[in-house]
């Protein structure tokens, strides 16, 4: 336990906590709160407890920018920001002056080449996700007519990134729509009508917006039997699609979204993830419903670095964060460095898919929940052999022995291990 009477170290957090869009940030904040509890239970940072001071940005990017501008005037040790990356761009000079580290959750500045020395990103860059999604759509599913529909300030750049990834794998984008095409009277009706005629649709946006888009696409498309070749288009989305919220329905079976195989919403058999899930349920009384791991790891890594600086921020804290190596907390090991401020890995990504109604579930899942499960053939480096890390391989492949090549994905005992001939996913 932390020492009594010691002043707390305040971690400044900017996120949406009110209004209809509060659900999309809640999972990150819940993960942060669990990390605070764990850090303080272990003695805090150099004997001092840590606390979160959360500022509400009302889901407004300009408000978020101004809130952070005000925080920087007081030179906080660090800022954790949940929201679109472009909110940070006007503040680059201020971050350079104060050397205050900022941890970006949900947003993405990597893909738009908008990183700066004080920024650390927990989100899997869309550029990396788009590469995985495009390979699956073009090479695996053989889709030709591919449509992009995006929401939010990062959507135009995301469209260009996906187009480049599709071209790399031999495909092309047939049409692209974002908020600039939204008609005040009809919304995205034109985009949705075009989507129903496509082979495949890629949605993009923040958690609630992305899920809303997928639901709208599925409702607009003709009804089909998901156990057969369906008239509906295939649908893929970003990692944000894995976040439940807003009372919206779960995507239909076959829908895919990109993330690492250690996603806490599913990866119970991996010991460190199972422990995180158990701790989270014990503290909150519920299961995971999104990307709580990113909030948890962000605070834990930040607290560890603060311990090395005796609670000091600024350039010392930036350097301490950069010294984080192979730190496995709730999910994938975090490796940072002077030239790499990205929490997630680049090479161990794949797709999760919503299971079909008659599909065999993994032992810890609840029948009828239509859970997301890893599509194992996408967690490969060559379409055949898994890219699951050595430290986790025996969970999926009990027969595997150290120094052997990565086993074929279809030998996995968990996840969806079907071949590309699978008509659903």
Residue 209 inside a domain? The answer is no
Q: State residue 108's pLDDT score.
A: 97
Answer with the residue of higher pLDDT: 64 or 355.
64
Flag whether pLDDT at 184 surpasses 80. Answer: no
As a whole number, the mean pLDDT across the chain is 91
Q: Are 84 and 106 in contact (CB under 8 A)?
A: yes
β-bridge pairing 119-121 and 234-237: unpaired
pLDDT, tens digit (0-9, with 9 covering 90-100), for 358-397: 888 899 987 767 789 999 999 999 999 999 999 999 999 9
Residue 152 inside a domain? The answer is no
Q: State residue 232's pLDDT score.
A: 83
pTM: predicted TM-score of the whole model, two decimal places: 0.94
420 contacts: CB under 8 Å, gap ≥ 6 = 140, 141, 377
Task: State how far the Cα of 243 lies from the Cα of 27, in Å rounded to an integer.
Answer: 8
Flag whether pLDDT at 226 surpasses 70. Answer: no
Residue 390 inside a domain? The answer is no
pLDDT, tens digit (0-9, with 9 covering 90-100), for 53-75: 999 999 999 999 999 999 999 99
pLDDT, tens digit (0-9, with 9 covering 90-100), for 13-59: 999 999 878 888 999 999 999 999 999 999 999 999 999 999 999 99
Q: Which domain holds residue 277?
A: 9-125+269-322
* pLDDT above 90: percentage of residues in the chain: 76
Task: State how far the Cα of 132 lies from the Cα of 345, in Å rounded to an integer.
Answer: 13
Residue 310 inside a domain? The answer is yes
The model's confidence at residue 224, banded by pLDDT at 50, 70 and 90, is: low
pLDDT, average across residues 165-181: 91
> If you count DSSP H runs as helices and E runs as strands, how many of each does the chain have, helices first?
11, 12
Q: State residue 220's pLDDT score.
A: 80
Q: How many domains does the chain have?
A: 1
pLDDT, average across residues 317-342: 96
Residue 16 inside a domain? The answer is yes
CATH code where residue 99 lies: 3.40.50.2300
pLDDT, average across residues 341-361: 93
Residue 84 inside a domain? The answer is yes
Q: State residue 227's pLDDT score.
A: 47
């Amino acid at each position: 336990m932390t020492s009594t009477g010691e002043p707390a170290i305040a971690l400044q957090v900017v996120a949406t906590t009110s209004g209809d869009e509060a659900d999309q940030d809640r999972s990150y904040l819940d993960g942060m709160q669990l990390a605070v509890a764990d850090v303080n239970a272990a003695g805090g940072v150099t004997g001092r407890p840590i606390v979160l001071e959360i500022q509400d940005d009302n889901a407004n990017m300009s408000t978020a920018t101004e809130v952070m501008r005000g925080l920087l005037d007081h030179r906080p040790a660090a800022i954790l920001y949940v929201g679109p990356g472009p909110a940070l761009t006007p503040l680059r000079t201020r971050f350079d002056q104060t050397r205050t580290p900022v941890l970006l959750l949900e947003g993405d500045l990597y893909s738009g080449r908008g990183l700066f020395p004080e920024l650390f990103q927990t989100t899997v860059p869309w550029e990396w996700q788009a590469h995985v999604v495009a390979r699956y759509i073009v090479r695996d599913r053989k889709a030709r007519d591919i449509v992009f529909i995006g929401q939010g300030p990062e959507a135009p750049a995301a469209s260009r990134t996906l187009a480049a990834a599709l071209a790399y794998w031999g495909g092309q984008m047939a049409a692209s729509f974002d908020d600039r095409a939204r008609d005040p009277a009809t919304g995205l009706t034109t985009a949705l009508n075009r989507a129903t005629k496509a082979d495949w649709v890629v949605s993009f946006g923040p958690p609630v917006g992305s899920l809303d888009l997928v639901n709208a696409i599925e409702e607009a498309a003709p009804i089909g039997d998901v156990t057969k070749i369906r008239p509906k288009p295939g649908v893929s989305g970003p990692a944000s699609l894995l976040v439940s919220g807003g009372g919206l329905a779960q995507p239909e079976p076959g829908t895919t979204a990109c993330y690492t195989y250690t996603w806490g919403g599913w990866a119970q058999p991996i010991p460190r993830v199972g422990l995180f899930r158990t701790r989270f349920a014990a503290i909150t009384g519920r299961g995971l419903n999104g990307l709580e791991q990113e909030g948890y790891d962000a605070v834990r890594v930040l607290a560890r670095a603060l311990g090395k600086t005796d609670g000091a921020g600024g350039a010392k804290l930036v350097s301490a964060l950069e010294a984080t190596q192979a730190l496995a907390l709730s999910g994938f090991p975090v490796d940072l460095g002077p030239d790499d401020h990205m929490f997630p890995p680049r090479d161990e990504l794949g797709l999760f898919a919503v299971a079909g109604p008659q599909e065999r579930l993994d032992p810890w899942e609840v029948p009828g929940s239509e859970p997301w499960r890893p599509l194992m053939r996408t967690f490969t480096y060559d379409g055949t052999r898994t890219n699951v890390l050595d430290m986790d391989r025996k969970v999926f492949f009990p027969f595997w022995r150290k120094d052997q090549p990565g086993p074929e994905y279809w030998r996995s005992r968990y996840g969806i291990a079907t071949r590309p001939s699978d008509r659903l996913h």
